[in-house]
């Protein structure tokens, strides 16, 4: 079934603010109603009683109903209980006209349901928050001495300060949803590949054993998430195993000094840095490398470019401060077997210092504007204010 044949609707009927769950467990005592029809009738009556009680107490109630229509027969498939309750409240005359418009429709697992997203929207709209009132933008430094920043967070800042603010400072998590037809999500695939490479660093295997371990790793994942389409699972498994074969064949065979080891160091700008490089290696010539594995299809890094190499360069700084004389960084793309190298020398250190000072200044002044150009899909576009800015610009 393709995605657009699924009607994914959660209908929220605002009787007001008391949440009423229709969970079976809440109505376990079904007395003498032994038949299935009897039990259903009893539960409907219990719901009506509960709503009646709420109404008599003057307590507003909110009722949520999942309209996920697997059969795809109708755009939505509201429950008869919902219709009946609505008719009771509105009267038969208002039913047809108002039923559809009164319900609030949101996507299945939509981020509209997330309290984090709601709070984020409120913050971006300048709402007053009680009882924990956040300092308004511009009123405090976010560079508290004990707050550590990861290379990924700093990379996010330079891609879009507003996204960094929402995601890394406010901690708003995006709910991307879970498509049951997807065999393995990109981040899960990345975690499997990283775990395989970390295990290889700890306990190196020969090629055949390495491939067998990759197959087992993927099969174990499928046990935790049984695929709806076995054919798609076979394809994904082949892709994963091929990627790991590429990783094995493309490995230069350097001495592995550490893998997935966390480091924490304070930069002279005052920024506390914390990161976990995928690997640190020493070549036969005695060069020290920071290695970062990538599982994406596209090559997004450019050789010796501080902006695209910022994450690896930050790892290099962390290691250097821990006593490892890093001479370069490598992004190893596991799917294609390609490697992008980034130098780490005096000039790069100076560029890094300037970037971190810029980051510090932004934290101190709490200045987190939207990026001039969004790099790819973000997910915060409905709350970051970008749309509002665009509307204002269009009006002028």
Binding mask 109-148 for ligand SF4 (x = CB under 6 A): ----------------------------------------
Of the candidate spans 39-47, 230-238, 297-305, 377-385, the one that interacts with ligand SF4 by CB under 6 A turns out to be 377-385
| Binding residue for ligand SF4, selected from 11, 13, 117, 160, defined by CB under 6 A | 160
The nearer residue to ligand SF4, 306 or 384, going by C-beta atoms, is 384
d(CA 32, CA 1): 42
- The nearest distance, CB 185 to ligand SF4, in angstroms, is 20
Of the candidate spans 21-29, 158-166, 255-263, 273-281, the one that interacts with ligand SF4 by CB under 6 A turns out to be 158-166
| Binding residue for ligand SF4, selected from 168, 237, 301, 386, defined by CB under 6 A | 386
d(CA 382, CA 168): 17
The nearer residue to ligand SF4, 168 or 237, going by C-beta atoms, is 168
Query: Radius of gyration (Cα) for the chain, nearest Å?
Result: 27
Of the candidate spans 95-103, 156-164, 247-255, 265-273, the one that interacts with ligand SF4 by CB under 6 A turns out to be 156-164
- The nearest distance, CB 8 to ligand SF4, in angstroms, is 23
d(CA 298, CA 333): 9
Q: Which residues contact 13 (CB under 8 A, 6 or more apart)?
A: 62, 63, 64, 65, 82, 85, 86, 102, 103, 104
| Binding residue for ligand SF4, selected from 8, 163, 335, 360, defined by CB under 6 A | 163
The region that residue 304 occupies, defined by phi over 0 for left and psi between -120 and 50 for alpha, beta otherwise, is: left
The nearer residue to ligand SF4, 142 or 293, going by C-beta atoms, is 142
50 upstream amide cis, omega within 30 of 0: no
d(CA 316, CA 357): 17
- The nearest distance, CB 342 to ligand SF4, in angstroms, is 24
| Binding residue for ligand SF4, selected from 119, 198, 222, 371, defined by CB under 6 A | 371
Q: Which two tokens stand for residue 195?
A: 């775990």
What is the full DSSP assignment across 353-391? HHHHHHHHHHHHHT--PPPSS--S--S-TTTSSHHHHHH
Spatial CA neighbour of 290 closest among 300, 279, 274, 303: 279
Under the criterion CB under 6 A, does residue 362 sit at the interface with ligand SF4? no
DSSP H or E stretch at residue 332 = strand 326-333
Under the criterion CB under 6 A, does residue 384 sit at the interface with ligand SF4? yes
Residue identified by tokens 């970062």 is 292
- The nearest distance, CB 137 to ligand SF4, in angstroms, is 14
β-strand pairing of 18-19 with 61-66: parallel
Using CB under 6 A, count the residues that bind ligand SF4: 11
d(CA 299, CA 101): 47
- The nearest distance, CB 255 to ligand SF4, in angstroms, is 40
Please calculate the CA angle 381-152-217 and round it to the nearest 5 degrees.
100
Under the criterion CB under 6 A, does residue 374 sit at the interface with ligand SF4? yes
Of the candidate spans 22-30, 99-107, 125-133, 376-384, the one that interacts with ligand SF4 by CB under 6 A turns out to be 376-384
Of the candidate spans 25-33, 49-57, 89-97, 368-376, the one that interacts with ligand SF4 by CB under 6 A turns out to be 368-376
Of the candidate spans 7-15, 59-67, 150-158, 378-386, the one that interacts with ligand SF4 by CB under 6 A turns out to be 378-386
Under the criterion CB under 6 A, does residue 153 sit at the interface with ligand SF4? no
| Binding residue for ligand SF4, selected from 219, 364, 381, 392, defined by CB under 6 A | 381
The nearer residue to ligand SF4, 61 or 384, going by C-beta atoms, is 384
What is the full DSSP assignment across 208-268? HHHHHHHHHHHHHHHHHS--S-HHHHHHHHHHHHHHHHHHHHH---PEEEEES--EEEE-T
Cβ contact 300:308 at 8 Å: yes
Under the criterion CB under 6 A, does residue 380 sit at the interface with ligand SF4? yes
**Binding stretches for ligand SF4 (CB under 6 A):** 160, 162-163, 370-371, 374, 378, 380-381, 384, 386
């Amino acid at each position: 079934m393709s995605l657009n044949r699924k009607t994914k609707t959660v209908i929220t009927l605002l009787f007001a603010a008391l949440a009423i769950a229709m969970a079976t467990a809440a109505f376990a005592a079904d007395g003498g109603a032994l038949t299935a029809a009897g039990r259903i009738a009893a539960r409907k009556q219990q719901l009506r009683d509960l709503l009646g009680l709420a109404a008599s107490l003057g307590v507003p109630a909110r009722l949520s109903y999942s309209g996920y229509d697997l059969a795809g027969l109708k755009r939505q498939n509201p429950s008869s209980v919902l219709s009946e309750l609505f008719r009771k409240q509105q009267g038969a005359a208002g039913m047809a006209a108002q039923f559809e418009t009164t319900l609030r429709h949101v996507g299945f697992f939509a981020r509209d349901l997330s309290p984090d997203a709601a709070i984020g929207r409120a913050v971006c709209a300048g709402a007053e928050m009680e009882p924990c009132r956040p300092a308004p933008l511009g009123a405090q430094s976010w560079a508290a001495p004990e707050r550590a920043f990861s290379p990924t967070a700093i990379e996010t800042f330079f891609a879009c300060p507003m996204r960094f603010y929402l995601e890394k400072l406010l901690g708003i998590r995006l709910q991307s949803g879970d498509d049951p037809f997807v065999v393995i999500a990109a981040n899960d695939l990345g975690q499997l590949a990283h775990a395989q490479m970390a295990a290889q660093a700890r306990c190196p295997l020969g090629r055949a054993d390495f491939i067998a371990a990759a197959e087992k790793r993927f099969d174990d994942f499928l046990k935790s998430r049984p695929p709806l389409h076995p054919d798609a699972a076979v394809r994904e498994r082949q892709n994963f195993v091929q990627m790991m074969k590429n990783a094995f064949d493309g490995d230069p065979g350097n001495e592995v000094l550490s893998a997935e080891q966390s480091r924490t160091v304070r930069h002279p700008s005052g920024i506390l840095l914390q990161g976990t490089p995928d690997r640190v290696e020493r070549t036969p010539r005695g060069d020290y490398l920071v290695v970062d594995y990538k599982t994406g299809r596209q090559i997004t890094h450019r050789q010796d470019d501080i902006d695209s190499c910022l994450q690896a360069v930050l790892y290099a700084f962390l290691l250097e401060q821990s006593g490892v004389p890093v001479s370069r960084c490598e992004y190893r793309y596991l799917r294609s077997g390609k490697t992008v190298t980034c130098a780490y020398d005096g000039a790069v250190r100076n560029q890094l210092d300037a970037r971190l000072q810029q980051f510090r200044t932004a934290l101190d002044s709490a200045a987190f504007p939207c990026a001039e150009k969004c790099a790819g899909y973000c997910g915060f576009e409905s709350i970051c204010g970008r749309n509002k800015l665009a509307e204002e610009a269009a009006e002028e």
